Amino acid sequence: MSERSLMDSMARLVPDGARVLDLGCGDGALLAHLQHTKGCTGYGVEIDDAKVLACLQRGVNVLQLNLDEGLSMFGNNSFDVVLQIDTLQHLRNVETMLRETARVGRTAIVAFPNFAHWPNRLSVLRGRMPVTRRLPYQWYDTPNIRVGTYADFEVLAERNGLTITDSFGLQDGQEQRLWPNLLAGTAVFKLSQG
């Protein structure tokens, strides 16, 4: 799935005019898109200097923070939507950040590469780590510190007292609601505090 396709799919989940916090916002493209097309406001959070500069150049409000240190600077329900798109697999404190994401936002949207997608399974059966559009790195140079599956995330959300209000997979820009753990390269979950 292209970055643009993922961005469009995520934008469909955010209500017009929402106050948004985008965790691990990268260059700010998604938040800028939400500002221009949906009238959203809010902040991005990013640690990388070059990406923070790119956000500022796009006109995106950005805070330079390390997500591994949490979101204690934000109160409960400070935002309508908190996005965690392709961030989960880079975090050391996944459970804490999931709870914090749901605490800070009325709604949380989490998306990540689904390691159980059938081409990934086939690669592992062949004795190799997968290299795909969603997992484009070799095992030795990946920025991902973990991989997860759609099915694993359902268990993790329940274990942390989070309510899944919607979930589906994305494949080639299309929602995949039938067997998303097998047929989708991206897992998408909409969450709230339990």
* pLDDT per position as a tens digit, 66-94: 998 889 999 999 999 999 999 988 888 89
Inter-axis angle of helices 29-38 and 49-58, nearest 10 = 20
Per-residue CA distances from 148 to 27, 53, 83, 120 (Å): 24, 30, 18, 12
- Lowest-confidence pick of 6-10, 119-123, 185-189: 6-10
82: which strand partners?
21, 108
| CATH class of segment(s) 3-115+146-193 | alpha beta
Where along the chain do its domains lie? 3-115+146-193
